Amino acid sequence: MKIKHLRIENFRAIANFDEAIGPYTTFIGYNGGGKSSILHAVRWFFENFELMSTDVFSEEIGEPDLATLPDVKVTVTFDNLTELDHENFGPYARGEEIVLTRVGGVGRPSKLYGERLVCPSFKNIRKEKTVSGQRKLAEQLMTSNKLFADLNINSKTSKQELLEILDNWEADSENHKHLESINDEDANHFFGAVGSDKLKVDSGFVFIPAAPDLTGQFDISGKSSALQLLLGDILKGVVSRSINSWTERNQSVLNELETTVSEAADDHLNERAGQVNHHLRQYLPGIEIKFEVGLQDWAPRANPVAQSRMRRGERDFFIESEGHGVQRATLLALLQATAESRTAPESTGGEDRDNKQNHREDQQSSLIVFVEEPEVYQHPVQARMMARSFANAARTGNVQFVLATHSPYFLDPNEIHNIFRVENSPTGSKANRPSVQGVLKEKNASGELDKYFLESVIESLFSRAALIVEGDTERAIFDTVPCGDDGLTLRDLGISVAVAAGSDSLLDMAQLIQDFGVPVFVVRDGDSDSEIALKTAQEKSQNAIRTQFKCAPDFENTEHLQIAVNKQQSLLNRWQSAVDSFIKKARESGFGEGLEDFEWGGGSQVGRYVGILSHDLEAELHNWPSFTMMSKEFGLPSDLRKAKKAGVLARVAAQSKQEDMPADLKRILEVARQMVDYGSPRKDS
């Protein structure tokens, strides 16, 4: 089973979150934005910890009045149900989904409800208090409706038997189309006195917090710690086979059972320990871990738990006594090894029947893994490898990952629609996700969005705002020059400069980044300078002139010049057509505000979301006296369009004077800065 949908009401920073969740989902955003609130709301759903006043969302400033605090409500919809899930969750798993809701508040116990699928025709039968009355209603139903003719309820059917017959009829998949869901108020109290551990264990929920103390995650006293859940599949398969073997031989010798279980489990746990140690030695050189099986509460029914022992050189030590860095590294290594085992391909040869059975048993249970800041204490290379393991397991295995992270390594472009950027708000944090439709959908299908993620978009998602430009020259300049009298740059203010690698992708990238709630401003070349067009045309006409006239080009010659002029006009026509198409697309996609009177060739023009340069950035740099003077000292060509070293251009810009910067360039920087100085220029504001 996996989480399909989450609805969270009034938990910490979240007033209302109602979104679908994918197999690999990430939440990003600034500290205090609310991303961890989403993860901990789900933890409360599974673990049912006591709520404090700080756990309940409130718009009040200061200590809230407990009497006015609203209920906290978390509804989780599960899908991808297995046979084991249908067995564990009974009447709440009759369809393709399970819908469970926990409701609670400060100072009172919570309640967990399940939405059940039931047959509406059975409602009155179940409400009837006497067995004779139930029999009578059932017999009437059997007589009046052929659908229920085979219920086989008669005057001798006991109350328990009658209710079992109704339950079995509803449990039959052939009858699911006749069932309807009942709401929380009519549903039975889910799991009753069994408690939340059953819910957590049966769903395979693992939560790894960013908190420093992870000792409880190695607990052997119960089945809900991360250690028990992550190694549980191995133990369940091994113990089942061991008990069957032992029962056949001798049911009275419990010591023989312990020996059999230990021997059967050792190889599997040692194999997993080897996988974990492969990663652990990268995090903690010289340290190893070993897993052992132990049996709690001896009885004919074995209760296996996984135990761990750490070894540094020749000395054994307990993980519980170590610092949080060692604990977290060990837990993440275990999680990474588990993820990789879930994606391990089946052997194509040389694998015996027992090994195949072991592999199937190791894959039988789903895992739902929530991790806060998986990058903490990790070297970047280790974080990247871990992220790859998690993403692969989510794609091909039966494990679901939900992460809250500050690291770009854990963002998967294949799951772009399951990335949320969470922003804080007085009325409750807002979670933004992209709408990948139209052109963006095509680019995602073709893999083009991967290029954006690997470079500019990822950085923009972690920024306060984004200035989107065509190429590396623009990024080098806008990243470096001051954007105000205080000498601060866009980067100093948390504004990233995203490179779209061409004008055709500018608006697509802007749409993608803005969908995440990041303010954007786009800068495009105006491409309207006729002199530059003529110079370009002359360069491109030389071969044609040599071919036609059998001589070197001479643009004092009328015929030679006419060829260049014709090419110039063609070039200007293409430039104008491209810019006009860009403006049209900007208006259609909601980025055209302030450009209603745009006219190609009318000089630099700046709207709310888009700025059009008179020609290009190099033309602005040529009009910057201190920049051109400094560029000569760095040995750059007089035509800066031929300067291909963006790093050198950045150094020149850093040493140029702000006072003589062209007005159009200053205007672009001013508008970009306003995205964070005066709030976000959103389409809906």
Single-letter residue type at 465: A
pLDDT at position 522 over 80: yes
**Overall average pLDDT of the 113-137 stretch:** 92
Identify the residue with better confidence: 681 or 177.
Answer: 177
Reported confidence tier of residue 501, pLDDT bands at 50, 70, 90: confident
Sequence-ordered list of residues with C-beta below 8 angstroms from that of 654, at least 6 positions apart, any chain: 480, 481
pLDDT at position 171 over 70: yes
Ranking 61-65, 137-141, 376-380 by mean pLDDT, the lowest is: 61-65
pLDDT at position 13 over 70: yes
* Dihedral over Cα of 164, 169, 170, 173: its sign: positive
Range among 57-61, 309-313, 363-367, 559-563 with highest mean pLDDT value: 559-563
Question: Quick one: pLDDT at residue 346?
Answer: 46
Per the rule left: phi > 0, alpha: psi between -120 and 50, beta: everything else, 527 is: left
Ranking 30-34, 177-181, 387-391, 681-685 by mean pLDDT, the lowest is: 681-685
Q: Which residue has the tokens 């020609």?
A: 615
Average pLDDT in the chain: 85
Structure tokens at 573: 């026509």
**Overall average pLDDT of the 146-170 stretch:** 94
CA distance 100 to 202: 14
- 270-308 pLDDT, tens digit per residue, is 999 999 998 888 888 888 988 887 665 454 555 666 677
pLDDT at position 351 over 80: no
Question: Quick one: pLDDT at residue 478?
Answer: 98
Reported confidence tier of residue 178, pLDDT bands at 50, 70, 90: very high
Single-letter residue type at 170: E
Structure tokens at 587: 């208006």
Q: Within a 13 Å sphere around the CA of 449, how many CA atoms are in the beta-carbon half?
A: 23
Ranking 201-210, 546-555, 659-668 by mean pLDDT, the lowest is: 201-210
Question: Quick one: pLDDT at residue 437?
Answer: 72
CB 26 within 8 Å of CB 394: no
pLDDT at position 349 over 60: no
Reported confidence tier of residue 680, pLDDT bands at 50, 70, 90: very low
Single-letter residue type at 59: E
CA distance 358 to 355: 5
The reported pTM is 0.81
Q: Compute CA distances 598 → 505, 588, 605, whole Å.
A: 20, 14, 7
- 550-582 pLDDT, tens digit per residue, is 999 999 999 999 999 999 999 999 999 999 999
Q: Which residue has the tokens 């030590």?
A: 317
Task: Give the chain's length.
Answer: 685
- 210-255 pLDDT, tens digit per residue, is 865 455 555 545 555 655 666 655 665 666 677 667 555 555 566 6
**Overall average pLDDT of the 495-507 stretch:** 93
pLDDT at position 63 over 80: no
**Overall average pLDDT of the 101-117 stretch:** 89
Question: Quick one: pLDDT at residue 683?
Answer: 44
Question: Quick one: pLDDT at residue 284?
Answer: 83
pLDDT at position 353 over 80: no
Question: Quick one: pLDDT at residue 218?
Answer: 53
Helix (H) or strand (E) holding 336: helix 324-343
- Nearest residue to 367 via CA among 333, 390, 344: 390
Reported confidence tier of residue 448, pLDDT bands at 50, 70, 90: confident
Question: Quick one: pLDDT at residue 196?
Answer: 58
pLDDT at position 455 over 90: no
Q: Within a 13 Å sphere around the CA of 516, how many CA atoms are in the beta-carbon half?
A: 26
Reported confidence tier of residue 498, pLDDT bands at 50, 70, 90: very high
- 586-611 pLDDT, tens digit per residue, is 999 999 999 999 999 999 999 999 99
Q: What are the residue boundaries of the structural domains of the chain, listed by start?
A: 2-116+182-202, 120-178, 212-364, 434-527+582-677
What proportion of the chain, given as a percentage, has pLDDT over 90? 56
What proportion of the chain, given as a percentage, has pLDDT over 70? 82
Question: Quick one: pLDDT at residue 202?
Answer: 86
Question: Quick one: pLDDT at residue 352?
Answer: 47
Reported confidence tier of residue 496, pLDDT bands at 50, 70, 90: very high
The burial class, CB within 10 Å (0-12 / 13-18 / 19+), for 377 is middle
CATH class of the domain defined by 2-116+182-202:
alpha beta
pLDDT at position 345 over 60: no
Range among 292-296, 373-377, 390-394 with highest mean pLDDT value: 390-394
CA distance 342 to 368: 13
pLDDT at position 126 over 90: yes
Identify the residue with better confidence: 95 or 244.
Answer: 95
Question: Quick one: pLDDT at residue 186?
Answer: 47
Ranking 146-150, 339-343, 651-655 by mean pLDDT, the lowest is: 339-343
CA distance 323 to 330: 11
